[in-house]
Amino acid sequence: MPSLFALHRIKLLSLLVISNLGLILHLSLGDVKSVAAWAWLDIAGEGGSAALVLIWICLLLKSRPAGRVTDLLFLGLACLFFSLWMDVTDEFVQMADSVRWDAWLESGPMPVGFVLLTFGIYHWHREQLAISAQMRNRERLYREHRQFDKLTPLGGAAYLKTQIELTIKQAEIDRQPLSLIMLDMDSFNMINRDFGQKEGDRVLQVVTQLVLLNLREHDLLCRLAGDRFVVVLPNTLESQAVIVATELSMAIAHLAYRTAGQGERLILSATTVAAMARQESAERLLERLNMTMARAKQTPLARSA
Ligand SMILES: Nc1nc2c(ncn2[C@@H]2O[C@H](COP(=O)(O)OP(=O)(O)OP(=O)(O)O)[C@@H](O)[C@H]2O)c(=O)[nH]1
């Protein structure tokens, strides 16, 4: 993974050069104030704000791919930083009363920065709408990044339980059936053992994409743990969930998966089971599915709970 500096070298160097030019201009045309003349509260406020904006810039560049939205957000934040930096510099260097340009350097870039940030955030919002459409089957109602698994990236067990509780309540209000599918990869530890953990990770990612492709708009896929996934299917009877579960198993069995290293063809398979929610907690429902899964792994015909 390239470092933050390597990816955004020109942006960061430009900010460094311009900030230093501002500082040099002040130092060469003004007088350095004595420590007694320093306004500590202003220094802390303005300096702290400049430091925070610098942190925002680093987080932005670290978390976003290069492109127009990143450029707009960066330029906006860079303008805010420059204004605040000039403000701090002013606390250490006294300019003659006749000098006007220093006030421009302090106040000018700030509104420009806000305008650029507004454009950037607007385009970010549009980009996010497109991403959210793709994330449709991965998240519902709210996003809490700590509850999302980095690898797949699907909601984890905690997210799943919250979503099941919410969906059970909604199903009761709507008087609609709610079913769940549990999917567990078969002999997954052998993939890790024979081809390495990285290949195992890749299999989990590919299987996730494949399952997502086979779900309906309102279904939700989560990763319960390891190679075990759960699909929440609102407005679905158990008999319909069993059909979807069989389709998912078949899709995985028919996947022409090749390893990243030598391109070996792997035969993947998964066991799936389905259950309809009764008047029970999410915990109990998952327990019931886990038990059915354990039975199905031993006797492949036990596919519903
Ligand atoms: N590569 C990879 N492996 C994982 C991850 N999480 C769990 N595992 C591995 O998944 C394997 C799951 O093993 P088991 O629960 O025995 O499942 P299995 O080998 O599919 O066996 P059966 O389910 O009985 O068919 C273990 O070897 C875990 O170490 C992960 O994020 N990445």
Domains annotated for the chain, with CATH where assigned, are: 4-134 (no CATH), 145-298 (3.30.70.270)
Whole-complex ipTM: 0.95
Closest of 297, 107, 139 to residue 218, by C-alpha: 139
The token duo for 79 is 């303008």
185 lines ligand 1 (CB under 6 A): yes
How many whole angstroms separate alpha carbon 8 and alpha carbon 2? 10
Ligand 1 contact, 156 CB (< 6 A): no
Q: Which position has the higher pLDDT, 132 or 273?
A: 273
Q: Which protein residue's CA is at the shortest distance from atom 21 of ligand 1?
A: 187
Helix, strand or coil for residue 97?
Answer: coil
Reply yes or no on whether the pLDDT at 205 is more than 80.
Answer: yes
Which residue CA neighbors atom 12 of ligand 1 most closely?
189
pLDDT band, very low/low/confident/very high, at 291 (cuts 50, 70, 90): very high
Confidence of residue 304 (pLDDT cuts 50, 70, 90): low
Q: How far is CA 242 from CA 46, 177, 278, in A?
A: 62, 14, 16
Average pLDDT in the 78-105 region?
91
Take atom 5 of ligand 1 and give the residue whose Cα is closest.
226
Q: Name the DSSP letter for residue 233.
A: E
> Is 188 close to ligand 1, i.e. is its CB under 6 Å away?
yes
Comparing C-alpha atoms, which of 255, 268, 297 is closest to residue 195?
Answer: 268
Determine which residue's CA is closest to atom 32 belonging to ligand 1: 201
Mean pLDDT for the stretch of residues 275-291: 93
Looking at residue 85, its pLDDT comes to 95
Q: Are 185 and 199 in contact (CB under 8 A)?
A: no
* pLDDT, mean over the chain: 90
User: For ligand 1, what atom is nearest to the CA of residue 197?
Assistant: 1
Of the pLDDT bands very low, low, confident and very high (cuts 50, 70, 90), residue 142 is low
User: What is the dihedral sign for C-alpha 189, 190, 191, 195?
Assistant: positive
State if residue 149 touches ligand 1 by the CB under 6 angstroms criterion. Answer: no
Residue 150 has pLDDT above 90, yes or no: no
Instruction: Return the ∠ at Cα 17 (arms to 19 and 82), rounded to 5°.
Output: 25
Give yes or no for residue 143 CB within 6 A of ligand 1: no
Summarize pLDDT for 8-42 with one digit per residue, the tens. Answer: 888 999 999 999 999 999 999 999 999 998 999 99
Position in ligand 1 atom list of the atom nearest CA 184: 23
